Amino acid sequence: MDAEFQQKIIVIKEWLGTGSVNIFGFPMSGKDTVGVRLATDIGGKFLSSGLIIRGMESKNRQHLTDGGELIDSNLFYDWVLPYFASEELKNVPLVLSSIGRWKGEEGAVISRAKEAGHEIKAAVVLNVSEADVTKRWETVMFGQELSDRGERADDKDKIVFEKRLEEFRKKTLPVLLVYREMGLLVEVKADMDRELVYRELVNRLYEFATAQKNS
How many domains does the structure of the chain reveal? 1
Whether 62 is covered by a domain: the verdict is yes
- Encode pLDDT of 84-126 as tens digits: 999 999 999 999 999 999 999 999 999 999 999 999 999 999 9
* CA separation for the pair 26, 9 (Å, rounded): 25
Whether 5 is covered by a domain: the verdict is no
pLDDT of residue 63: 87
Whether 7 is covered by a domain: the verdict is no
Between residues 6 and 143, the one the model is more confident about? 6
| Res. 183: pLDDT tops 60 | yes
Whether 213 is covered by a domain: the verdict is no
Whether 207 is covered by a domain: the verdict is no
Mean pLDDT for 60-69 is: 89
Domain hosting residue 154, numbered range: 17-202
- Encode pLDDT of 6-22 as tens digits: 999 999 999 999 999 99
Q: What is the CA radius of gyration of the chain?
A: 17
* CA separation for the pair 211, 69 (Å, rounded): 37
Q: What pTM was estimated for this model as a whole? A: 0.92
Whether 120 is covered by a domain: the verdict is yes
Whether 208 is covered by a domain: the verdict is no
Go through the chain and tell me how many residues it has: 215
Tell me the CATH number at 154: 3.40.50.300
Whether 10 is covered by a domain: the verdict is no
